[in-house]
A and B are shown apart, each in its own frame.
Chain A
Amino acid sequence: MTTQPHSRKRVCYYYDSDIGNYYYGQGHPMKPHRIRMTHNLLLNYGLYRKMEIYRPHKATAEEMTKFHSDDYIRFLRSIRPDNMAEYNKQMQRFNVGEDCPVFDGLYEFCQLSAGGSVAAAVKLNKQASEICINWGGGLHHAKKSEASGFCYVNDIVLGILELLKYHQRVLYIDIDVHHGDGVEEAFYTTDRVMTVSFHKYGEYFPGTGDLRDIGAGKGKYYAVNIPLRDGMDDESYESIFVPIISKVMETFQPSAVVLQCGADSLTGDRLGCFNLTVKGHGKCVEFVKKYNLPFMMVGGGGYTIRNVSRAWTYETSVALGVDIANELPYNDYFEYFGPDFKLHISPSNMANQNTQEYLEKIKTRLFENLRMLPHAPGVQVQAIPEDAINEESDNDDKADKDERLPQKELDKRIVPDNEFSDSEDEGEGGRRDNRSYKNRKRPRLDKTTESKEEEKPKEEVKSEKSEESSKTSSDDTTTDTG
């Protein structure tokens, strides 16, 4: 099923020049600007001129509600920083406010991200391209009616739904350091989409992705989770990625693949805890590409932005089948890449807690699960009669909810590698509470709260550990010791 490593493909790339200028807010690790940094690197590497470059449309509410609930999308469309107060209850309900803050242009940002992935899927469906790339997409945590983990609209689910129009089976692979829970949940009970996620598991966001989570109902065995521990290096990653994906390809036989290339699995990521280099990360792209299936690549996590743009630039070159120099070309963001100004990065000396033995065990267990798949039918499936839809709801009852344990929102703290520039802000908790933060700055507001204070039945004195201390601890601070 494989071909030569560097086959030339028709590559379509989706980018909107506005995407870089959305800002999640002070101290927020998610920085859409990394997509623009990638774009500029692509131009200066001369990769830009080798692809078809498209500006995607803005996904409409109608398109987004193919997955998301109407009221959730309506809410996203109407909420703005200046009318947040009116939406208090809904913000709670939709989990918008803290990790998924309300920022200027939030809805447009979602539209562009989703628009890119949908456009990419349409392109693949029309067989007008072999590989479609949307670095603005990959927001894999978004749920049907809930924002989560910096993601609001799940562009991947929307893209896969589009692909399902022409593809009986679509494979989703997720190499973000976090579990791709949004996509997995969306397709948890179907056998037409297999979700395969490689992620850190244990005391880590979002808390799902256990080896034992394998799907439910018709979708049983169609969710594949590879729980990993801290310090995954290139070699270990390849040793588990290659056999699992090979086996999945063999048993599931998808006709299209979506790869989420979350770059927070790279070494030195501000939120991640793996030890992959750009090369190791890119190897996954290379490997999947070899299957010559309609292939969609999306972005995802990645919080040390200089490394994110390195990885995505390299992966674009892999998609194109072009070798690029290790020496970074001059560009607007050149200084971010100091002190070496190289494309490739070296792993750190962190310990790899994934022993060969552990990975081997995981692999064996997953192979056993994959064996349970009915051998992929080679027949093209006929249209399913309308009444078949009801089967889904039946499955709801069968799925054993009680087996599931309470969700924990835990995470692990990774100390950023204190680098030149992009780790910036954040102090710990610098922007935790929007209201108190605003109060601090707007003396006018303080006045009113103060004078009313004693009238209220309860009075609240809200305290945050000093912003100052959080600020100092934050910024990229320490110099590179390298």
Chain B
Amino acid sequence: MTANMYRVGDYVYFETSSTFPYQIRRIEELNKTPSGNVEAKVMCFYRRRDLPSQLIQLADKHQCALDETNGSPKSDVSLCSDQLGPKQRHQMKHRELFLSRQVETLPATHIRGKCSVTLFNETEALSSYLNKDDMFFYCLVYDPTQKTLLADKGEIRVGSRYQCDIQQLLRDGESDGRELAETEALVWTPNHNLSDRQIDQVLVVSRSVGTFARALDCSSSVKQPSLHMSAAAASRDITLFHAMDTLHRHEYDLANAMCSLVPSSGPVLCRDEMEEWSASEANLFEEALDKYGKDFNDIRNDFLPWKTLKNIIEYYYMWKTTDRYVQQKRVKAVEAESKLKQVYIPNYNKPNSAALNNNKGVLNGNSNGTGADPAVALGTKACESCNVTSSTQWYAWALPHMQCRVCEQCWAYWKKYGGLKMPTRFGDSVDFDGSAKKRSGSDIEDDKGMGHRPHRCNIGGCAKEFKLKAHLGRHYATAHGIAVRAGSPRPVMKTRTAFYLLTTPLTRLSRRLCRHLMKPKHAARCPSYVINLQAVKQECAVQMANKTHEELQQLLLYCKRNRGSVTAIATRLGTLLPDAATPQWLLLTNKTLLPQPDVVAFPKPPKAPDGSLMYERVPNKPDADKIPVNNMSPSLKRRAYEEMNGIDSSCLNAPPAKRMSKEPMPISRHPVASSALPGTGPLAGNTALSSNADQYQMMMAAAVQAHTPAGLSGPMPRQVAQVNGKPKIAQMTRSGSGRKQVISWMDAPDDLYFKATEHSKKIRRQISSVELRRAARKPWRYFKTRLDEPPVVVLD
């Protein structure tokens, strides 16, 4: 199974032609296409036979140089190919590959097996490659477009610009000019008298204080409507770090440290970004993340300008621990399902087209095929490579008219290594196009060898030479303004180079002259619109022939069309002409004219005598549960005051009066008299609530008049809840009353569904009832099942 399982990173043989040798590739990506096939994105390695002849010579030279270094007396292993026999030297050439940075996409079904390609290391004996099947090495990098071979090696530069001035050892008694006080500040030391247990106790205390502080804190109470949530929030690391700092600051004196947790201003409350952010900020952040990705600067500028960049970054990393993030990830995981980690390709058994038809299996010099079969002609020949005359299967090798055949082993060798086991009369680089590559006698490349070749600037007419590629890069940048990518630790595969479209005067001319063919405005809107370049070329040539040089010059000149400023245009478009009526499509359809549904899914409840809708009250929690949460008040003092006055504290979180106007008018059915006057006590300034229901109603009416432009406040469904006989307005931030409860999502887990699939059902059937019961009691326990194998894609 593992032999046929191909993973990203594997080196593999690809068969793209039945008669040619395999191609050697490295899998970079496996992608499932919509049609269900698997495509492999691969990095190409070239064989010697794939190289142009001049480069083969260069490669030979490089190998000679390699031999020299290896022949040095120090080396215990001699690699010098002189020590190899001629046959080995011949075969060695089949094992050398040339890396390229070319990437192509091939169907994964063409994979024919695994091999291994390593960068040659001079400690190794070349023969170590020959002794193992499917082993290749490379030293040089081949660039098929530039037709160059380069060594894949960086350099450590030497010179005063690269090394540092070495620090002298100090003399006895000489000062290093360093004071510890200047280089560091102690934050914690293990040298104290506290036991581990005592430190743990301080941590628990600080968390308790934090929980209490949250109970007192108004905004926390909204976010964390339960004690558990408060306690969880108080257990975050920021509280613990603060406790440790406090201990240190108080010189590990327990009493002092604990006292400092509850200063006169109230218990200490430490909140990190996770807690600091409101639900709406969190939503803004997610929206921004969706829009901008992780460009936190832009997110900050356009969505959360009141946060610092550091706030946002800290928040981001914590946000990733929430189930909101997990959910997003799940969506993305579905999108990325097409990316595979591995693919299963069974052995390929289909007969090769070069196989000769010899159903008797063994040939003994007698032709046994039909007359038309090449096997007849080849029937008497020995293996072109190894000269054996018996083989279970023969293959036609090279052009049919050359009438060669090779035995099964030699065929397999040819497919894998791209040559014949033994040197033959055709030489190594025999090709099926009949033209065996000729070694060019003249060597165009300079004699110094690759490593010594200077880097030459190839910008027209410049031709400056540099010893180091880095210097050439700098030259490109400074003299010609061309950016050459510097060394990067990031994978080559990931880079997608930006490209530039450089217009020549001719292209610009053609744009002006062949506007009718190019339809630039149309093309701009439909990038997929195909421009017929041939036609453009023709038309352009015709048009140019009719024009003088001056006319063409004139055409090339850019004349800016004055359309006025954008603002002016916008203003013009925005203002309707005074006499023009509002166009029909901008008018709202009258409600009575709208089509009515046959069935009303959610009929309105009956109306009360006062015109309000009477909703059935659905309690979602016992009142006892609800009240303390609702009545969470900013401080105990204040709470006492309110309790005495029988006022619900909801207004503390009430939106400002302006927003109140959009809320329905409150209705009171049980007016309760109260001595408190509006505008007094902690509620001063919050005109929305008064204990006197009548007064309140009047004020609300006034508020509606004052803040609502006529016609805006349409009737809205009202929600009236009654708690202890007091009128109460339901608000967004409140829980209970059947209204949506807004809490920090960091604490609120999203709904979780378990959907049983065929697979999971199957797994369940495998589990014994004992195990099932145990699993129910210990849900964290990992379950190993036979079906747990990673998903596998099987291709034929």
Contacts and interface: CB of A to CB of B under 8 A. Distances in A.
A301 B190 CA distance: 29
A1 interface: no
B187 A165 contact: no
A421 B187 CA distance: 31
A379 interface: no
Interface string A186-208: 11111011000000011101111
Contact of B188 (A18, A53, A407, A433): A53
Contacts of B486: 95, 98-99, 148, 409
Nearest to B337: A478
B501 interface: yes
B490 A411 contact: yes
A26 B294 contact: yes
A56 B489 contact: no
A410 interface: yes
Contacts of B597: none
A84 interface: no
B253 interface: no
Interface string B167-209: 1111100001010101111111111000010010000000000
Nearest to A143: B162
Contact of B159 (A383, A396, A424): A396
A404 B329 CA distance: 47
A211 B121 contact: yes
Interface in A373-409: 381, 383-384, 389, 392-393, 395-396, 399, 401-409
B435 to A, nearest CB: 33
Interface string A423-459: 0111111101100110001000001000000110011
Interface string B210-252: 0000000000000000000000000111101100100000000
Contact of A399 (B158, B236, B478): B158
Contacts of A475: 329, 332, 336
20 contacts: A23-B296, A48-B188, A49-B196, A57-B185, A89-B478, A93-B474, A122-B176, A125-B178, A187-B164, A190-B166, A216-B156, A351-B10, A368-B74, A396-B158, A405-B151, A410-B492, A459-B502, A461-B501, A463-B501, A481-B791
Contact of A144 (B163, B274, B483): B163
A405 B66 CA distance: 14
Contacts of B116: 351, 353
A149 B161 contact: no
A188 B158 contact: yes
B123 A458 contact: no
Interface stretch (B52-60, B312-320, B416-424, B730-738): B312-320
Nearest to A167: B169
A462 B500 contact: yes
Given A432-B496, A459-B503, A461-B501, A409 B163 contact: no
B487 A409 contact: yes
A356 to B, nearest CB: 12
B240 A43 contact: yes
Contacts of A290: none
Interface in A77-100: 81, 89, 92-93, 95, 98-99
Contacts of B500: 460-462
Interface in B93-127: 99, 101, 116, 118-119, 121-124
B153 interface: yes
Contacts of B76: 364, 368
Contacts of A430: 293
B164 A186 contact: yes
Nearest to A12: B184
Contacts of A250: none
Contacts of A405: 150-151, 153-155, 450-451
Contacts of A118: 183
B160 A393 contact: yes
A428 B494 contact: yes
A235 interface: no
B160 to A, nearest CB: 6
Interface stretch (A277-285, A310-318, A329-337): A329-337
B468 interface: yes
A161 interface: yes
A368 B77 CA distance: 13
A447 B563 CA distance: 14
A425 B293 CA distance: 8
Contacts of A324: none
Contacts of A95: 486
B452 to A, nearest CB: 6
Nearest to B323: A335
B89 to A, nearest CB: 21
Interface in A135-161: 141, 143-145, 148-150, 157, 161
B333 A99 contact: no
A477 B335 contact: yes
A20 interface: yes
A436 B321 contact: no
Contact of A123 (B69, B74, B180, B274): B180
B755 to A, nearest CB: 15
A93 to B, nearest CB: 7
A145 B336 CA distance: 41
A350 B114 CA distance: 13
A478 B333 contact: yes
A429 to B, nearest CB: 4
B467 interface: yes
Interface in A338-390: 340, 350-351, 353, 357-358, 361-362, 364-365, 368, 381, 383-384, 389
Interface string B393-413: 000000000000000000000
Interface residues of A, number: 177
Contacts of A202: 118-119, 152
A363 to B, nearest CB: 9
A145 B75 CA distance: 37
Contacts of A187: 163-164, 166
Given A181-B156, A334-B321, A425-B293, A125 B176 contact: yes
A437 B496 CA distance: 13
A184 interface: yes
The 3 closest A-B pairs by CB, nearest first: A207-B154, A202-B119, A477-B336
A122 B317 contact: no
Contacts of B169: 164-168, 381, 383-384
A471 interface: yes
A464 B163 CA distance: 38
A294 interface: no
A460 to B, nearest CB: 5
Given A99-B488, A166-B176, A428-B496, 12 more contacts: A53-B187, A93-B477, A190-B166, A206-B154, A212-B69, A332-B318, A350-B9, A364-B76, A381-B169, A407-B469, A414-B9, A477-B333
Nearest to B200: A46
A75 interface: no
A334 B490 CA distance: 28
B671 to A, nearest CB: 51
A227 interface: yes
Nearest to A200: B119
B489 A150 contact: yes
B496 A464 contact: yes
A216 B77 CA distance: 24
B163 to A, nearest CB: 5
Given A48-B188, A411-B491, A436 B237 contact: no
Contact of B163 (A150, A392, A459, A461): A392
A7 interface: no
Most buried by B among A27, A143, A189, A413: A413
B237 A43 contact: yes
Contacts of B161: 69, 144-145
Contacts of A48: 188, 244
A399 B189 CA distance: 49
A459 B244 contact: no
A383 B188 contact: no
Contact of A207 (B153, B451, B560, B791): B153
Interface string A107-133: 000000001001100110110100000
